[in-house]
Amino acid sequence: MSTILIIDDEANIRRMVGALLVSEGYDVREAPSGAEGVMLANDVEPDVALVDLMMPGAMDGIAVLRALRERHPDLPVVMMSGKAGLGDAVHATKLGAFNFLEKPLTPEGVLLSLSSALALRRARREAQLLRADLGLAGEMIGESRAMLALRALIDRIAPTDSRVLISGESGTGKELVAAAIHAGSSRRDGPLVRVNCAAIPRDLVESEMFGHERGAFTGATERRIGRFELAHRGTLLLDEVGDLGSEAQAKLLRAIEAGEIERVGGGTPITVDVRLIAATNKDLARAVREREFREDLYFRLNVIPVVMVPLRERADDIPLLVQHFAALTRARTGRRLPEWSADALRLLARYPWPGNVRELANIVERLIILHPGQHIQEDDVRRVIAVDERTTAPTPRAELPDPAGLDTPLSDTLDAYERLLITRALSASGGNIAEAARRLRTDRPNLYRRMKRLDILVDGSAPLA
């Protein structure tokens, strides 16, 4: 149940609006003065505040708005007044008011404004959860060269409004980077809204992105504010953008080019001021070449590319990440922190981490639950992850040798490079042949034949027969 705080010196307003909201299922709290309203907000943490502009005493509506924005920055505040002019409304909006209602109030106007404000409140809460995604609680852990370069890049691009495309494997922290870019921008006080493009049913993409009017289609019983509107003056994260269908891609492109959207069932264009950040675990350049993703949309999104390095290529950060996740697990579960042996940490560093940082967080939590306050040894780690000593050692990025310096037969050089690519794919896929074949863009029988020819072992077995 959502809690609505009404701050108004007129008892009749508090009574009538309160009765309306209670009948709609809201939990209503009220205060007859600005000072009492601010104190009550600190106690009950409302979801939306309705504040009268003209109130006697030391705190009028503007002073209340300032105090609420300072102490509860994510709380939407709807101002009300029957005597204010346009200048007052503009001033309140600049100070962060979500909306401005003129008295006499109408039930439809109040309920519609509250519905939109609550949608914004939910979006802001999602943004808070997003910053804590992967258990990182907004922190980017690591001192490896890759992480230092990533932080430096974020510092350069965050203050701009340029669109960003973050690409990388699942679990590398793409959402966290988006949150860091938002936090370092001039939009930091605005909402950070995430939409998971892979989870939206094809026939609901337009409604989810742009919203819809009541009665726009069967089941549209009330107006819905889309993600673009919720992110107005903030940042919109299009997560898994590579999973959008062709029709949705076309609609997204039009919204980007026009800088405005239309709700489904509505004929009025709505201007939106949004910074777009897209994230994907797919190779969009390849998808463009294969005509699975629109080239014009790709160029619109890929103004500044950010490529996430997988955890296996920054193994030096694993001890720091282990300590960090251990502390988070203790705070969440109350389990005592264990001690980590050097052998256990070295084994964690050798594992290829196909699930990247997210998988590491899960493994650390599992070990702490199983061994609270104990000394975690190498054998304890082996019981929770399948380690193949021959395929888990970190490998550098593949580099072709300089042809001018070759003094070995071409066939031997090609075999060595093919062996490197295959063992790396097996390492990244945790020994899963089907996943390795997918990464190498070949079929499983062909991969088996090549592994047999090169005497590549699987899961510690003998060479393939």
Read off the tokens for 111: 């309920």
Q: What is the pLDDT of residues 153-166, one digit of tens each?
A: 999 999 999 999 99
Enumerate helices (H) and strands (E) in the chain, giving the number of each: 19, 16
Query: What's the pLDDT score for residue 274?
Result: 94
Amino acid identity of residue 253, one-letter, is: L
Give the C-alpha separation, 171 to 355, whole Å.
6
Omega cis (within 30) before 107 = no
Give the C-alpha separation, 142 to 185, whole Å.
22
Residues 6+ apart with CB under 8 A from 421: 398, 440
Query: What's the pLDDT score for residue 397?
Result: 42
Domains in the chain, CATH or no CATH each: 3-118 (3.40.50.2300), 132-139+146-307 (3.40.50.300), 311-382 (1.10.8.60), 403-453 (1.10.10)
Give the C-alpha separation, 274 to 259, whole Å.
8
Contact call for residues 45 and 3 (beta carbons, < 8 A): yes
Q: What is the pLDDT of residues 59-116, one digit of tens each?
A: 999 999 999 988 888 899 999 988 766 777 788 888 888 988 988 899 999 999 999 8
Sign of CA dihedral 15, 16, 20, 26: negative
The conformation of residue 313, written as its DSSP 8-state character, comes to: G
Contact call for residues 273 and 255 (beta carbons, < 8 A): no
Q: List phi, psi (to 5°) of 463.
A: -55, 145
- CB hemisphere CA count around 442 (13 angstroms): 15
Query: What's the pLDDT score for residue 165?
Result: 96
What is the full per-residue pLDDT of the chain (465 aa) written as tens digits?
A: 789 999 999 999 999 999 999 999 999 999 999 999 999 998 888 999 999 998 988 899 999 999 998 888 889 999 998 876 677 778 888 888 898 898 889 999 999 999 989 988 887 776 665 555 434 345 678 899 999 999 999 999 999 999 999 999 988 989 889 989 998 999 988 888 999 998 888 888 888 899 888 877 777 777 788 899 889 989 999 999 999 999 899 999 999 998 888 888 887 888 899 999 999 999 999 999 999 999 999 999 999 999 999 999 999 999 999 998 998 888 888 888 899 999 999 999 989 998 899 899 999 999 999 998 899 999 999 988 876 554 444 443 444 444 444 455 666 667 777 887 887 778 776 677 877 888 887 878 788 888 888 878 664 343 343
Read off the tokens for 155: 């510092």
Beta strands 211-212; 224-225: pairing state: antiparallel
Read off the tokens for 5: 């705080």
Query: What's the pLDDT score for residue 139?
Result: 66
User: Any bridge partners for residue 52, and if so which?
Assistant: 80
Give the C-alpha separation, 176 to 132, whole Å.
8
| Cα dihedral 393/398/400/402 (nearest 10) | -70
